[in-house]
Structure 1
């Protein structure tokens, strides 16, 4: 499913019916139906991505299914945060994973999605990068064809990398492709470079040269992260279910630290990778536990000047300059978009 400009309302409605119907099995109002007797939701619809972080461990170990036995939990795979945004607008998901760039767009006009960020899956490091063939510098990509999933963190990072090298979008040909399509286009020789994440990145690196990584861009002030988004209505109606979800995510991060072999095996099963390769890809990410995320730098109630809300606001300034969103929202929009209270309720100090 390729990301395009926001579809018409009718198309979004149709998409919402399709997603909720096939994902939850209980119709479009699955996430908003009357709760179970224990106050848990009858259905929880989760949108995940093939990224080697704790979310895949929770899925693999079926921890949510065990913790919420009366809730029908459906995991639906998405290829990019832009697609998660589209599903959220259509009412087809309750919780999803999207990069900081799609979340910035989701919280900004014209989308103004009614969701908030309760968890940081990972701070992106070497697991997203710009890979090229026939070029050893970013400047040498002038006139080349470069692929990235539009509106993703990779797209944001690609534009930042080009700008840093003195290039504009008009100096290259940008192609909107999802990761599996990038891999196929690379194999056919249809593209010269791509900014993408693992596991596809790992395959491109075998025949291409990495020109810059998201870790390097972060050091230059272009921080990106994979974030959880939860529908505000769902979070308000089912706080205990959200607390349970958060606790399982924290459990996964702690498993990575305490038993890397078990964590790598779980991620490997989900990505069809050998455990050793899964372990290597996990190490390319920065995983934060709940206590770390409650700090002012990330999701704390008292946001530091350079906190996550400021990162999102900075991304909005960049996306506005690139004409990807019409205007930069106030910083307060992003501060209010962080579910700091919900995280604090799940892990009281």
Structure 2
């Protein structure tokens, strides 16, 4: 769930078909006079409204103000950033809960330390003219990036109408390619996230059928770090968390400046970027603390993780459910909250 454009969204949709982990990352870096003994944190992010604020962190030098050194790396292809973290090319990355669980199921040792946001409408199932109900999707060509949150959203929606993936002609396409295919009339429906939703909705007669707002709490987005990062540089993990909340404070105090920065990074107009606000719920420190607490619905990360793990196994996207006992570490948000109170 992220924004990925150095030039324009249209270019992203074409370019993202060819990127690889080694060349897809179009870097923007901040070097804060790294010490001889401590290398800058390699941190990835990509095209999603809940992660774009990190661009503000960079441009306003908020990493340095929170005593850490970061090379912030932009990925045009979201899955490339996940692969880079798994391969050890990154120390930290911005990922969904769904994709983090997939990585852990495949053997990665990754830890969620911060909730950036919940998707509350910016993940959408968009359909062509003539499709008016979920039941109308039966037999239709529907595209989404397999194993991602939009695939998860699609299956949740189908379930409400008594349908499964077997009832549609599922087209597993990378998100940018899926949006482009839908916009050009090649498929009947598509599951995509903002800002790719903007591109998909350019198709004449297209409309939203349902979105993440209809499934509250099912798509949380996070800052994820490697276990090695926590073990060897826990003070820098704390600095990243502190920087995130400092960034939110900066955006609240300087909204127009911040929106310019974020819209430029997203490759959309400021007006378009502001429209994404209602579709992304940025989490406060209090909401972070609540999310990390045990619960019996999707607002609790531990509960959501169990539900998503079941989905991955049932959809045969994971061979077996991963060990979720070590996937969350709330000590950093707790430390930030304690420092604010003190």
Does residue 197 (structure 1) correspond to residue 196 (structure 2)? The answer is no
Q: Say whether 1:57 aligns with 2:56.
A: yes
Structure 1 residue runs of 4 or more that deviate by more than 6 Å after TM superposition? 19-25
1:47 aligns with 2:49: no
1:254 matched to 2:249? The reply is yes
Aligned partner of 2:148 in structure 1 is 152
Show the 5 A alignment for 1:1-349.
18=22, 36=35, 41-53=38-50, 54-64=53-63, 67-68=66-67, 71=69, 73-80=71-78, 82-108=79-105, 111-134=106-129, 135-207=131-203, 208-218=206-216, 223-295=218-290, 298-300=291-293, 303-306=294-297, 307-329=300-322, 333-348=323-338, 349=341
Tell me whether 200-209 or 97-106 shows the greater mean CA deviation: 200-209
Q: TM-score, normalised by structure 2?
A: 0.81
Is the contact between residue 213 and residue 279 of structure 2 (CA under 8 Å) also seen in structure 1? Answer: no
Partner of residue 3, structure 1: none
Instruction: State the 1:271 CA deviation.
Output: 1.1
Compared with structure 1, are the counterparts of its residues 211 and 72 closer, same or farther at alpha carbon in structure 2 (3 Å cutoff)? closer
SS at the partner of 1:143? coil
Shift of 1:194: 0.6
State the alpha-carbon separation in 1 of the partners of residues 128 and 24 from structure 2: 41
Aligned CA-pair RMSD: 2.7
Could you say which structure has the greater relative contact order, defined with CA pairs below 8 angstroms and 6 or more residues apart?
2
Per the TM alignment, residue 98 of structure 1 is displaced from its structure 2 partner at its CA by: 1.3
Tell me the alpha carbon deviations over residues 166-192 of structure 1, each in whole angstroms, 9 at most, x when there is no partner: 222122222222232123212321111
Inter-partner Cα distance in structure 1 for 2:112 and 2:325: 10
Determine helix, strand or coil for the equivalent of 2:176: helix
8 Å CA contact 1:320, 1:328 repeated in 2: yes
SS at structure 1 position matched to 2:215: helix
Count of residues paired in the alignment = 309
Instruction: Report the Cα offset of residue 346 of structure 1.
Output: 3.7
**Counterpart secondary structure, 1:117:** strand
